[in-house]
Structure 1
Amino acid sequence: MKFGYREICLEHDTGSRHPESPDRLRAIQRTLADSANVEYVPATAIPRDAIWAVHDHDYLEDVRQFCANGGGNWDADTVAVEATWDAAVASATLAAWAADEALEGADGCETPFSLGRPPGHHAVEDDAMGFCFLNNAAIAAEHALRRDGVDRVAILDWDVHHGNGTQDIFYDRSDVYYASFHEEGLYPGTGDVGETGADAGRGRTLNVPFPSGSGDADYLAVHREVVAPEFENFEPDLIIVSAGFDAHENDPISRMLVSTAGYGVLAERVHELADRIDAGLAFVLEGGYGLETLSAGVREIHEVLNGEHADSIEPAPTDGGQNVLDSLVYQGFGSR
């Protein structure tokens, strides 16, 4: 794969006890060191128009000045230092680069994966939260939509936390379809199945709040029965995966049971879907706080898209996963 990466992202120093640390990117690079067809790309073309379109201008200036003054605690969980503004802009730039690469035909072993931090999917239009300052996936989607010939973008967010920021930014728009797999009741407490969009965006938000203990079979069943049909009907020009790895069975901050192999199968299914509907495919890093599980998940996706066949995982979903699937089908998702 082609991995978007900038050293400045390591300088966003959250402190020795913070789970979202620079060691996350270092662990990924160590794990990929012996893998074939790994290319790092230091994208630098800042998508200023998309950043300004996604985020409130006064908010952007507040964050920039907050960092220029030395940073501190924006809130209890979201920490900044002087370098955080540059790191956040670099992270957004890498996500936009991934969208461009995908739309220009990068596929297979050249599929783009943005390795930026801080992550982004909790950042709303005018506030930072949940470790996030700029919404990388939303900026990538907005950047893509500003290209000639791009009319629709779909985002699949499989981070264990609901991407409230991405949902809010596009909630009333018809040109972005946002689908989220997340653990029910976990931070930030949003993402109910009844949150389906508003106005022009009605029916363009799909929330899948899995109960704790859900795993591979649950994710794959909902993808097969609901997400894939919805995206096929939507006909996006680009699919962006907000790729968090904190639903892993050994991640320290969730109670989900997705395996490393499960991420590979899910990535393979999304890739097959993108091929089927002739859409570009780009990955944007979100969470994942066990260094071994995070890096193993990224490597698994790299190997699958580099030509390795994903493991076969076809057990029936759990009772909890089936209940979520039934509730989505009852609302009409997957059958339109």
Structure 2
Amino acid sequence: MRFGFNDACLGHDLGQRHPENPDRIRAIREYLSDRTAVEYVSPAPASEADISSVHSDEYVTELRAFIEAGGGNWDPDTATTETTWEAALASAGSAIWAAEVALDGASGHETPFSLGRPPGHHATVDDAMGFCFLNNAAVAAQYARDHLDAERVAILDWDVHHGNGIQDIFYDRQDVFYVSVHEDGLYPGTGEVDETGEGPGAGTTLNVPLPPGAGDAAYDATLTDIVGPAIEDYDPDLLLVSAGFDAHHHDPISRMHVSTEGYSILTRRVRETADAAGSALGFVLEGGYGLETLAKGVGAVHDFFEGESVSPPEGTLQSDTKTLLEDISAGRHAVGLK
């Protein structure tokens, strides 16, 4: 794969006790160091015009001023240092790079993966939260709409937490389809099944809040039976994956049971979906806070695109998950959606 990584992303450093620290990227790069097919590119940072396309001008001004004044705690979970602004712009710029490379025709072992941090999917139009300041995937999707001739963009978020910020930004729009597969009841408490968009965006938000403990079989069924058909029906020009790896069964802040091999399965399903829809495909890093499991998860995505075989998921689909998927499918069919 081609990985977008800007050194400025390491500058946002709240110390090793904070789960979202620079060692996340270092662990990924160390794990990939023995792969011969890894290519690194250093993308340019996003401009303020790029980020203001999805964030309010008032928020951008306030956040930058807060950081330049020395930073500190924006909220109890989300803190900044004096170098956070540069890191956030670099992270958003890497996501834009992934969209550009994907829409330029990159596929197979050249598929782009943005290794940006801080992550972005919790950042709303006018607020930072959940370790996120600028909404990287949303910035990239809007850039693709504005500058890369993408009429429709789909964002699939498989991070264990619901990406409330992406949903917030595009909730009333029909040109971006947001899909989230996340753990039910986890931070930030959003992402219910009945959150499906409003106004022109009715039907362009799809939430699958899986029960705690869901593993490879549940995620595979979700992508095969619900997410894949929905994205294919939407027919996007670009599919961006907000790729968090905190649903891993050894991640310290979730209760899900996805294995490292499970991320290979997810990647295969995503590639099949993109192929069926004829859409470009790119990945944008979100969460994942166990250093080893994060690195192995990214490695599993890379290895799939380098031709590694994928085994069927182990385990069985639990009755509560089966009922959830059936209810979501019935609800979408009732309004004429797949």
What's the TM-score bracket when you normalise by the shorter of the two chains? over 0.9
Over residues 259-316 of structure 1, what are the superposed CA-to-partner deviations in whole Å (9 max), with x where a residue is unaligned? 1101111101111211122111000000000000000000010000111122222654
Deviation at 1:36, TM superposition (A): 2.2
**Paired AA for residue 295 in structure 2:** S
**Paired AA for residue 286 in structure 2:** E
C-alpha distance in structure 2 between counterparts of 1:143 and 1:48, whole Å:
12
Of 131-140 and 326-335, more deviation after overlay is shown by 326-335
Deviation at 1:61, TM superposition (A): 1.1
Match of 1:155 in 2: 155
Superposed counterparts of 1:2-151, under 5 Å: 2-44=2-44, 46-151=46-151
**Paired AA for residue 262 in structure 1:** G
C-alpha distance in structure 2 between counterparts of 1:123 and 1:46, whole Å:
16
C-alpha distance in structure 2 between counterparts of 1:314 and 1:251, whole Å:
19
C-alpha distance in structure 2 between counterparts of 1:44 and 1:185, whole Å:
37
C-alpha distance in structure 2 between counterparts of 1:257 and 1:247, whole Å:
7
Structure 2 SS opposite 1:242 = strand
Structure 2 SS opposite 1:12 = coil
Match of 1:169 in 2: 169
Unaligned runs of 5+ in 2: none
1:205 aligns with 2:209: no
Deviation at 1:58, TM superposition (A): 1.2
Q: Is the 8 A contact 1:46 1:89 kept in 2?
A: yes
**Paired AA for residue 53 in structure 1:** S
Structure 2 SS opposite 1:326 = helix
C-alpha distance in structure 2 between counterparts of 1:256 and 1:25, whole Å:
22
Q: Is the 8 A contact 1:11 1:84 kept in 2?
A: yes
Q: Is the 8 A contact 1:122 1:165 kept in 2?
A: yes
C-alpha distance in structure 2 between counterparts of 1:267 and 1:250, whole Å:
19
Aligned length: 336
Match of 1:228 in 2: 228
Relative to structure 1, the CA distance from residue 71 to residue 148 in structure 2 (aligned partners, 3 Å threshold; closer, same or farther) is closer
C-alpha distance in structure 2 between counterparts of 1:49 and 1:197, whole Å:
26
C-alpha distance in structure 1 between counterparts of 2:38 and 2:48, whole Å:
28
1:331 aligns with 2:331: yes
Match of 1:181 in 2: 181
Structure 2 SS opposite 1:59 = helix
Match of 1:218 in 2: 218
Q: Once superposed, what is the RMSD of the aligned Cα atoms? A: 1.3
Match of 1:193 in 2: 193
Structure 2 SS opposite 1:150 = coil
C-alpha distance in structure 2 between counterparts of 1:136 and 1:324, whole Å:
30
Structure 2 SS opposite 1:180 = strand
Relative to structure 1, the CA distance from residue 41 to residue 72 in structure 2 (aligned partners, 3 Å threshold; closer, same or farther) is same
Deviation at 1:149, TM superposition (A): 3.2
Relative to structure 1, the CA distance from residue 154 to residue 47 in structure 2 (aligned partners, 3 Å threshold; closer, same or farther) is farther
Deviation at 1:53, TM superposition (A): 1.2
Structure 1 SS opposite 2:321 = helix
C-alpha distance in structure 2 between counterparts of 1:160 and 1:40, whole Å:
27
Match of 2:237 in 1: 237
**Paired AA for residue 60 in structure 2:** L
Deviation at 1:65, TM superposition (A): 1.1
Q: Identity percentage over the alignment?
A: 56
**Paired AA for residue 319 in structure 1:** S
Over residues 224-255 of structure 1, what are the superposed CA-to-partner deviations in whole Å (9 max), with x where a residue is unaligned? 11111111111000000000000001000000
C-alpha distance in structure 2 between counterparts of 1:21 and 1:5, whole Å:
15
Match of 1:290 in 2: 290
Relative to structure 1, the CA distance from residue 138 to residue 4 in structure 2 (aligned partners, 3 Å threshold; closer, same or farther) is same
Q: Is the 8 A contact 1:229 1:335 kept in 2?
A: no
Q: Is the 8 A contact 1:8 1:86 kept in 2?
A: yes
Over residues 27-85 of structure 1, what are the superposed CA-to-partner deviations in whole Å (9 max), with x where a residue is unaligned? 00000000121011101163543311100111111111111111101000101001000
Structure 1 SS opposite 2:53 = helix
Match of 2:300 in 1: 300
Q: Is the 8 A contact 1:47 1:96 kept in 2?
A: no
**Paired AA for residue 96 in structure 1:** I
Question: What's the TM-score once normalised by structure 2's chain length?
Answer: 0.97
C-alpha distance in structure 1 between counterparts of 2:124 and 2:46, whole Å:
20
C-alpha distance in structure 2 between counterparts of 1:20 and 1:313, whole Å:
29
**Paired AA for residue 73 in structure 2:** N
Structure 1 SS opposite 2:147 = coil
**Paired AA for residue 113 in structure 2:** F
**Paired AA for residue 288 in structure 2:** G
